[in-house]
Amino acid sequence: MIARLKDWILFRGVRRRISFLFLIAAFLPVITLTIMLYGMVAEISHEQDEQKKVETSRAYSIKVYERILFAEAAIQRLSSNPEATWKARDLLFNTVALVAPNGRMLQHTGEPLPASVNEAISLARKSASYPHKAAVHVLKKMDAHAAPAIAISMNRPIPGHPDAILFAVFNPMYLWGDPEAESQEFNTCVYGVDKTQLFCVYSEGSQKDVEQAVAKGAGIWELFLKGRFHGSNWVVATQHRYAAQPTQWQRFFSIYVKVALLSVFLVGFLSLFQIRRTMGPLRKLIDGTRRIAHGDYAPVEIPANNEFRELATAINDMSGRISEQIRTLQEHEERFRHQARFDSLTSLTNRRALFAMLDVLGEDQYVSDLTGVLLLDIDRFKFFNNTLGHRAGDFLLRQIARRLEHLVDDNDTVARLSGDEFVIVLRDCKDREEIRQIVERIIMGMGEPFNVEGNDYALTCSIGVAVFPEDANNPEMIVEAADMAMYESKKKGRNNFQFFIPTMRDSKLNRLRLDTDVRHALERNEFFLEYQPKVNASTGRIVGAEALIRWAYPKLGVVSPDNFIPLIEDIGLMVPIGAWVLETACAQNMAWHQAGFTDMRVAVNISAYQLAHHSLVPTVERVLQETGLPARCLELELTESAIMENFGQGIETIAKLRSLGVHLSLDDFGTGYSSLYYLKHFPVHFVKIDRAFISDLTTKDEDAVIVRSIISLAHDLQLQVVAEGVETIMQRDLLLASGCDEFQGFLFARPVVGDEVKRLLERQKRDA
């Protein structure tokens, strides 16, 4: 409260300067005017006062003079009729006397003459030289304090007393008049020749002699008696009875001062009021901008429609925009924060947050608990992505994310590591068996079809499982372990899972990430083909050869296709690499043809990827045309599962290939669906019985039964049968007895380079 009052009175800054200027502007002219006016008023008042006093003295002089004149007339009349003298005395004179030149009283009426009359008589005598002239005398009394008597003498012969002088002492009441009739304000005194006081209207406060009166500021008028009356002039002095009363001017001035003070006060008050009114909105604006600086964007309200409101509107606009921008920034920040922790596509925990979480897990882990870290890779996701398009691929990934979240407990975490790789962290597991059950549940759950754009797609996944803290106890190593295990399950034909075992660490392939290197293998000419001959079962002669891809990987030496085919399928390079195999194999076969082995057939493996790709048929056509190889000398090996994955389109493609005139064989028969029923729907020429059956042919009776059944069924369907992986003579003999048409296996030949095949053919020709 006091602070507010202080603030109100002791303005600060701009307010203080403005109010100070206002007050200066109001005060300065008023004070200057007042000082000037005061000087003028004082001067005028003084002059007026002086005039008034002199005027009063003059008026009084005239009155006394007129009375003396009247008394002169009276005494003249007396002189001519002395008898009347004695009667007339009462009004004008106190004493009338006729005095002989020697001073003897001849006649007398009224009060006795004062002793000083003798002086007067001598004076009167002197005035005898002025006959018929009256003289005025001042007759001092014996008592020095008593007022002197004033007498008038007539120096004119009186009948019967020619030398006598007529003396009349004035009645003071007559001569000086009634004091009541005089101004109450002034005291008028008359001073005689010796400057002594003759009379004062008011005796109190009067000055003894004229000099004193003049010193006190009396207004002086000389009563000129010398001319007409023998005697000296008198001086009439008027001075204030009391201290000087304020004059009109002074009264005006005192009112003026009050009005001036009032107006200054009014100006001050109005200016302060106006400053307050001006400063009020300014204060609001200052407070408003301070609030904005502190993040409060409530608008500044200025009720009056003036410049301040315009400023407030501008500030409000500005703060509106700032708050909008800050909100946007906060949203961005929120999004960034979300992006920092969550994967933008699937909203799952992202890689960085996963590793942070695993880090914390390492610190918090109870010794008795196990944590399962699963690395899940969608099998052949690239294939889906490429055939359905990226939008559908993204949609599929989101569905997979939701499915995975659904398949695990709430306190487990599903994270997206990259592309189609997910990490699932299973917490608080009792033992490995519990983890195994959950993983099986996930594989089962993932087997349910996904619906994308109205079509159902069956996906499989490969999972690697590492157990924390047994397999590793830091985030990078545990994920790496799960990755190695996942890679193993891919190698094992996908759609399964593997627990990490330490020997996986020793596997060179797992230790090195082939992904990056395999991408460049084609352009670096690191791939090459080997050819494994196929022989006619009854003649034992080479009738064809299967092209098998090899990767001459500088870091590891020659890598077998089982180890990198899944990789190149996953990274989407199967189609171009497959085309290169086709071109190379056909060109090689043409070389054999040109060497004279014109019946040679070359077999090329076609993956599910290639079969699903629209480019397969045109590529085969182009390669045949470019190499000039007759279509019948090319054989394409397709796996049962590749056809089944996309049954309708697969059958269609096979039919087109067949119409080109190429041979087709069903590779690895018996490992996939092994449905003899479907066999009739596959328009192929050969069935290749999988190595797995051949190896156990001589040891397991049921395998021999299966092989015999396959051969007889295939023959019923007009298909030829090829047995792969024939390693022993016993196997060969058994197969031969069952009616198998062709053999392939180490017993006859290992996969070798093209020139070696040519040498084998040449030797065979020589031997024939």
Quick one: 139 or 606, whose CB is closer to ligand C2E?
606
* Size of interface with ligand C2E, in residues (CB under 6 A): 24
User: Which string of DSSP letters, residue by residue, matches 94-122?
Assistant: EEEEEE-TTS-EEEEEESPPPTTHHHHHH
Question: Does residue 567 bind ligand C2E (CB under 6 A)?
Answer: no
Quick one: 412 or 645, whose CB is closer to ligand C2E?
645
Q: Which residues pair with 151 in a beta bridge?
A: 137, 169
Three-state DSSP class for residue 768: coil
Three-state DSSP class for residue 291: helix
Whose structure tokens read 């946007």? 328
Residue of 121, 129, 133 lying closest to 230 (CA atoms): 133
* Options 178-186, 208-216, 232-240, 719-727: segment touching Mg ion (CB under 5 A): 719-727
Candidates 652, 746, 759, 763: give the one binding ligand C2E (CB under 6 A): 746
- Contacting ligand C2E within 517-546 (CB under 6 A): 532
Q: Round to whole Å and give the CA distance between 222 and 687.
A: 171
Quick one: 218 or 581, whose CB is closer to ligand C2E?
581
Count the neighbouring beta carbons within 10 Å of the beta carbon of residue 169.
Answer: 26
Question: Does residue 306 bind ligand C2E (CB under 6 A)?
Answer: no
Interface pattern 189-208 for ligand C2E (x via CB under 6 A): --------------------
Strands 234-240 and 421-429, bridge-based pairing: unpaired
Question: Does residue 615 bind ligand C2E (CB under 6 A)?
Answer: no
Q: Round to whole Å and give the CA distance between 7 and 40.
A: 42
Distance set, CA 274 to CA 18, 280, 284 (Å) = 10, 10, 16
* Cis geometry, peptide bond prior to residue 469 (ω within 30 degrees of 0): yes
Question: Does residue 565 bind ligand C2E (CB under 6 A)?
Answer: yes
Question: Does residue 607 bind ligand C2E (CB under 6 A)?
Answer: yes
- CA pseudo-torsion sign 87, 73, 197, 99: negative
* Options 82-90, 395-403, 419-427, 561-569: segment touching ligand C2E (CB under 6 A): 561-569
**Identity of residue 266:** L
Whose structure tokens read 């003894």? 208
Residue of 488, 527, 490, 495 lying closest to 510 (CA atoms): 488
Question: Does residue 745 bind ligand C2E (CB under 6 A)?
Answer: yes
Smallest distance, Mg ion to C-beta of residue 498, A:
23
CA 501 to chain centre: 57
* Options 117-125, 161-169, 431-439, 630-638: segment touching Mg ion (CB under 5 A): 630-638
Question: Does residue 727 bind ligand C2E (CB under 6 A)?
Answer: yes
Quick one: 45 or 744, whose CB is closer to ligand C2E?
744
The span from the first CA to the last CA of the chain, in angstroms, equals 126
Count the neighbouring beta carbons within 10 Å of the beta carbon of residue 641.
Answer: 16
- For helices 754-767 and 574-594, angle between their N-to-C axes, nearest 10 degrees: 30
Q: Round to whole Å and give the CA distance between 227 and 369.
A: 152
Question: Does residue 231 bind ligand C2E (CB under 6 A)?
Answer: no
Question: Does residue 110 bind ligand C2E (CB under 6 A)?
Answer: no
Quick one: 140 or 688, whose CB is closer to Mg ion?
688
Residue 746 touches which of ligand C2E, Mg ion, none (CB < 5 to 8 A by kind)?
ligand C2E
Residue 548 touches which of ligand C2E, Mg ion, none (CB < 5 to 8 A by kind)?
ligand C2E
Candidates 48, 184, 560, 712: give the one binding ligand C2E (CB under 6 A): 560
Count the neighbouring beta carbons within 10 Å of the beta carbon of residue 747.
Answer: 16
Quick one: 343 or 530, whose CB is closer to ligand C2E?
530
Question: Does residue 640 bind Mg ion (CB under 5 A)?
Answer: no
* Options 123-131, 471-479, 701-709, 740-748: segment touching ligand C2E (CB under 6 A): 740-748
> Can you count the helices (H) and strands (E) in the chain?
27, 25
| Contact by Cβ (8 Å): 149, 141 | yes
| Contact by Cβ (8 Å): 757, 531 | yes
Q: Round to whole Å and give the CA distance between 86 and 93.
A: 10
Question: Does residue 581 bind ligand C2E (CB under 6 A)?
Answer: yes
Candidates 667, 703, 741, 742: give the one binding Mg ion (CB under 5 A): 667
Quick one: 336 or 746, whose CB is closer to ligand C2E?
746
- CA pseudo-torsion sign 336, 340, 341, 344: positive
Residue 489 touches which of ligand C2E, Mg ion, none (CB < 5 to 8 A by kind)?
none
Candidates 548, 579, 679, 719: give the one binding ligand C2E (CB under 6 A): 548
Q: Round to whole Å and give the CA distance between 693 and 676.
A: 15
Residue 549 touches which of ligand C2E, Mg ion, none (CB < 5 to 8 A by kind)?
ligand C2E
| Contact by Cβ (8 Å): 745, 765 | no
User: Which string of DSSP letters, residue by residue, matches 510-538?
Assistant: HHS-HHHHHHHHTTTT-EEEEEEEEEETT
Residue 745 touches which of ligand C2E, Mg ion, none (CB < 5 to 8 A by kind)?
ligand C2E
CA 693 to chain centre: 76
Smallest distance, ligand C2E to C-beta of residue 382, A:
15
| Contact by Cβ (8 Å): 534, 419 | no
Candidates 372, 464, 751, 754: give the one binding ligand C2E (CB under 6 A): 751
Smallest distance, ligand C2E to C-beta of residue 692, A:
10
| Burial of 732 from C-beta contacts in 10 A (0-12 / 13-18 / 19+) | buried
* Options 60-68, 133-141, 716-724, 726-734: segment touching Mg ion (CB under 5 A): 716-724
Question: Does residue 668 bind ligand C2E (CB under 6 A)?
Answer: yes
Question: Does residue 668 bind Mg ion (CB under 5 A)?
Answer: yes
Rg (CA), the chain: 74
| Contact by Cβ (8 Å): 138, 194 | no
Interface pattern 628-667 for ligand C2E (x via CB under 6 A): ---------x-----------------------------x
* Options 2-10, 77-85, 275-283, 557-565: segment touching ligand C2E (CB under 6 A): 557-565
Question: Does residue 645 bind Mg ion (CB under 5 A)?
Answer: no
Question: Does residue 742 bind Mg ion (CB under 5 A)?
Answer: no
Candidates 350, 605, 627, 731: give the one binding Mg ion (CB under 5 A): 605
Q: Under 8 Å CB-to-CB from 753, ≥6 apart: which residues?
A: 528, 529, 530, 531
Residue number of the CB atom closest to Mg ion:
637
Quick one: 26 or 606, whose CB is closer to ligand C2E?
606
Interface pattern 672-711 for ligand C2E (x via CB under 6 A): -------------------x--------------------
Q: Provide the binding-site residues for Mg ion, judged by CB under 5 A.
A: 605, 637, 667-668, 724
Residues at the interface with ligand C2E (CB under 6 A)? 532, 547-549, 560-562, 565, 581, 605-607, 637, 667-668, 691, 724-727, 744-746, 751
